[in-house]
């Protein structure tokens, strides 16, 4: 799955739990898949977007 797919999925998350699930998927990819520094930076950017968006939800 590429970063654009994740971007769309994050944009459509309607709850804090959905954002947590997306973050877990991204973290799993980072841990288990080989990635270069550009890919790593893109995943970190997605995690940051999740973090910012999660502030808008009641936990």
What's the angle, vertex CA 44, arms to CA 38 and CA 48, rounded to 5? 145
pLDDT score of 42 more than 80 = yes
pTM higher than 0.75: yes
Whether residue 24 contacts residue 32, with contact meaning beta carbons closer than 8 Å, is answered with: no
- The predicted-structure confidence for 5-29, as pLDDT tens digits, reads as follows 888 999 999 999 999 999 999 999 9
pLDDT score of 1 more than 80 = no
Over residues 25-36, mean pLDDT: 90
Whole-number Å distance between alpha carbons of 7 and 46? 7
H helical segments located in the chain: 3-11, 16-32, 37-54
Whole-number Å distance between alpha carbons of 29 and 12? 20
């Amino acid at each position: 799955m590429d970063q654009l797919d994740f971007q769309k999925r994050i944009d459509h998350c309607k709850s804090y739990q959905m954002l947590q699930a997306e973050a877990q998927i991204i973290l799993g990819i980072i841990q288990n898949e080989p990635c270069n520094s550009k890919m790593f930076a893109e995943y970190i950017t997605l995690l940051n977007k999740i973090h910012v968006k999660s502030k808008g939800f009641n936990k």
